[in-house]
Structure 1
Amino acid sequence: MTRPRRDQFRIALIAMPWHLFNRPSLQLGTLKAYIEKECPWVEVTVFHPYLEVAAAIGTSLYQKISLDVWASEALYGSILFPDQFDTNKKLFDQTFNTDKKSKSIDFRGLRRILERQLEDFIQNNDWSGFHLAGFSVCFSQLLSSLSATEKLKEVCPDLPIVFGGSTCVPHVSESLLRVFPQVDYVISGEGEKPLVNLCGHLSGRDRELIPQVLCRDKVSKVSLDIIVGSGQLKDLSSLPVPDYTGYFKEMAVCFAHEPFIPELPVEFSRGCWWGKCSFCNLNLEWRGYRSKKPEQMLQEVEILADRFNCLDFCFADNALPVLDAVVFFKETGKSQQDFRFFAEVRVNQCGENLAFMKNGGLAVVQVGIEALSDGLLKKLTKGATVIENIAVMRDALSLGIELEGNLIVEFPGSTEDEVDETLKNLDYVLPFRPLSTAAFFLGHGSPVACDPEKYGIRAIVHHWKNRAIFPAHVLSNLKLLIDDYHGDRVKQRARWSPVVKKVLAWRKFHQERQSSMLEKPMLSYRDGGSFLIIRQEIPGQSVLHHRLKGVSRKIYLFCMEISDIDAMEAHFGIDRMKLSAFLGDLVDKKLMFTDGKRFLALAVRKGK
Structure 2
Amino acid sequence: MARVLLVSMPWCAASRPNLSTGVLKSIAQQSGSTCESYDANLVMANRIGADAYETLAETPAIFGLCEHVFACDLFGPDALDSDAFIAQFGDDGEGKVFRELRDRIVPSALDDMEDAVLAAGHSIIGFSCTFNQVFPSLALARRIKLRTPETTILLGGACVHGEMGEEYARAFVDIVDHVFLGESDESFPAFLRCVDSGSALAQIDGITVRGSRTTQPKPISSMDAVPAPDYSDFYATRRAMIAKGASLPDVAALPYEGSRGCWWGQKHHCTFCGLNNLGMAFREKPASRVAEEIAALAQRHQIMRFMAADNIITHRDLRALLNRLADLEGEFSLFYEVKTNLKRDEVAALAKAGVRWVQPGIEAFSDAQLRRMEKGCTALQNVRLLRLCAEFGIQPSYNILVGFPGETVADYDEQISLMARILHLSPPSGPPSLVQIHRFSPFHARQAEFGFENVRPVSYYAHLVPADVADIGQIAYFFDRDNPPDAPLHEAMERLRNAVDAWRAANRTLTLRLGPGFSEVTVATVGDKRIETLDLFETALLLHADSPKTADALVALSGAVATADGSKAAEILESMVERGFLAVGDRTYVSTVPFAEPQCEAALSRWLDRWGGIKPVSLHGRSQSRAGEAQPA
Q: Which residue of 2 aligns with 1:396?
A: 389
Q: Which residue of 2 aligns with 1:427?
A: 420
Task: Determine if contact 2:424/2:510 at 8 Å carries over to the other structure.
Answer: yes
- 1:241-280 alignment to 2 at 5 Å? 241-256=228-243, 257=245, 260-275=250-265, 276-280=269-273
Q: Report the Cα offset of residue 90 of structure 1.
A: 5.8
| 1:44 corresponds to which of 29, 35, 38 | 35
Query: Quick check: 1:164 aligned with 2:156?
Result: yes
Query: Quick check: 1:154 aligned with 2:146?
Result: yes
| 1:440 corresponds to which of 435, 438, 441 | 435
What secondary structure is seen at the aligned counterpart in 1 of 2:149?
coil
Q: Report the Cα offset of residue 555 of structure 1.
A: 1.8
- Distance in structure 2 (CA, Å) of the matches to 1:410 and 1:160: 44
| 2:555 corresponds to which of 569, 586, 593 | 569
Q: Which residue of 2 aligns with 1:20?
A: 13
> Given the two structures, how large is their TM-score scaled by the length of structure 2?
0.85
| 2:76 corresponds to which of 77, 82, 96 | 82
- Distance in structure 2 (CA, Å) of the matches to 1:191 and 1:585: 58
The letter of the residue matching 2:71 is G
- Distance in structure 2 (CA, Å) of the matches to 1:536 and 1:81: 60
Residues 55-103 of structure 1 deviation map (CA, whole Å, 9 limit, x = unaligned): 12111001100012234223323333322588556656757x89x9x88
The letter of the residue matching 2:496 is V
Query: Quick check: 1:352 aligned with 2:342?
Result: no
- Distance in structure 2 (CA, Å) of the matches to 1:193 and 1:206: 16
- Distance in structure 1 (CA, Å) of the matches to 2:464 and 2:552: 58
- For structure 1, the residue ranges without an aligned partner over 5 or more in a row are 1-7, 514-520
| 2:493 corresponds to which of 489, 493, 496 | 496
Task: Determine if contact 2:545/2:591 at 8 Å carries over to the other structure.
Answer: yes
Q: Report the Cα offset of residue 546 of structure 1.
A: 2.5
The letter of the residue matching 2:579 is K
- Distance in structure 2 (CA, Å) of the matches to 1:302 and 1:555: 43
Q: Which residue of 1 aligns with 2:298?
A: 305
Task: Determine if contact 1:329/1:356 at 8 Å carries over to the other structure.
Answer: yes
The letter of the residue matching 1:292 is K
What secondary structure is seen at the aligned counterpart in 2 of 1:45?
strand
Using a 3 Å threshold, how does the CA distance of structure 1 residues 572 and 108 change in structure 2: closer, same or farther?
closer
Using a 3 Å threshold, how does the CA distance of structure 1 residues 81 and 419 change in structure 2: closer, same or farther?
farther
Q: Report the Cα offset of residue 10 of structure 1.
A: 1.1
Q: Which residue of 2 aligns with 1:530?
A: 517
Using a 3 Å threshold, how does the CA distance of structure 1 residues 490 and 62 change in structure 2: closer, same or farther?
farther
Task: Determine if contact 1:198/1:213 at 8 Å carries over to the other structure.
Answer: no
Using a 3 Å threshold, how does the CA distance of structure 1 residues 202 and 103 change in structure 2: closer, same or farther?
closer
Please, which moves more after superposition, 409-418 or 529-538?
529-538
Q: Report the Cα offset of residue 566 of structure 1.
A: 3.5
Task: Determine if contact 1:89/1:107 at 8 Å carries over to the other structure.
Answer: no
- Distance in structure 2 (CA, Å) of the matches to 1:185 and 1:86: 26
| 1:592 corresponds to which of 558, 582, 598 | 582
Q: Report the Cα offset of residue 393 of structure 1.
A: 0.9
Please, which moves more after superposition, 102-111 or 50-59?
102-111
- Distance in structure 2 (CA, Å) of the matches to 1:60 and 1:169: 31
Q: Report the Cα offset of residue 287 of structure 1.
A: 5.1
| 2:400 corresponds to which of 401, 407, 416 | 407
What secondary structure is seen at the aligned counterpart in 2 of 1:158?
coil
- 1:420-569 alignment to 2 at 5 Å? 420-435=413-428, 436=430, 437-474=432-469, 476-477=471-472, 478-488=474-484, 491-494=487-490, 495-507=492-504, 509-510=505-506, 513=507, 522-537=509-524, 543=529, 545-569=531-555
Task: Determine if contact 1:74/1:89 at 8 Å carries over to the other structure.
Answer: no
- 1:16-165 alignment to 2 at 5 Å? 16-37=9-30, 39-40=31-32, 42-68=33-59, 69-84=63-78, 87-88=81-82, 91=85, 106-111=97-102, 112-126=104-118, 129-165=121-157
Query: Quick check: 1:315 aligned with 2:302?
Result: no
| 1:201 corresponds to which of 194, 206, 210 | 194
Task: Determine if contact 2:178/2:211 at 8 Å carries over to the other structure.
Answer: no
Q: Which residue of 1 aligns with 2:611?
A: none
Q: Report the Cα offset of residue 394 of structure 1.
A: 1.0
- For structure 2, the residue ranges without an aligned partner over 5 or more in a row are 599-633
- Distance in structure 2 (CA, Å) of the matches to 1:582 and 1:84: 69
Q: Report the Cα offset of residue 325 of structure 1.
A: 3.7
- Distance in structure 2 (CA, Å) of the matches to 1:243 and 1:489: 52
Please, which moves more after superposition, 379-388 or 153-162?
153-162
Q: Report the Cα offset of residue 137 of structure 1.
A: 0.5
- Distance in structure 1 (CA, Å) of the matches to 2:224 and 2:485: 45
- Output the aligned Cα RMSD: 2.6
**Corresponding residue pairs, total:** 578
> Given the two structures, how large is their TM-score scaled by the length of structure 1?
0.89
Using a 3 Å threshold, how does the CA distance of structure 1 residues 89 and 292 change in structure 2: closer, same or farther?
farther
Q: Report the Cα offset of residue 299 of structure 1.
A: 0.6
Task: Determine if contact 2:520/2:531 at 8 Å carries over to the other structure.
Answer: yes
Residues 520-540 of structure 1 deviation map (CA, whole Å, 9 limit, x = unaligned): x5222233333222233579x
Task: Determine if contact 2:8/2:39 at 8 Å carries over to the other structure.
Answer: yes
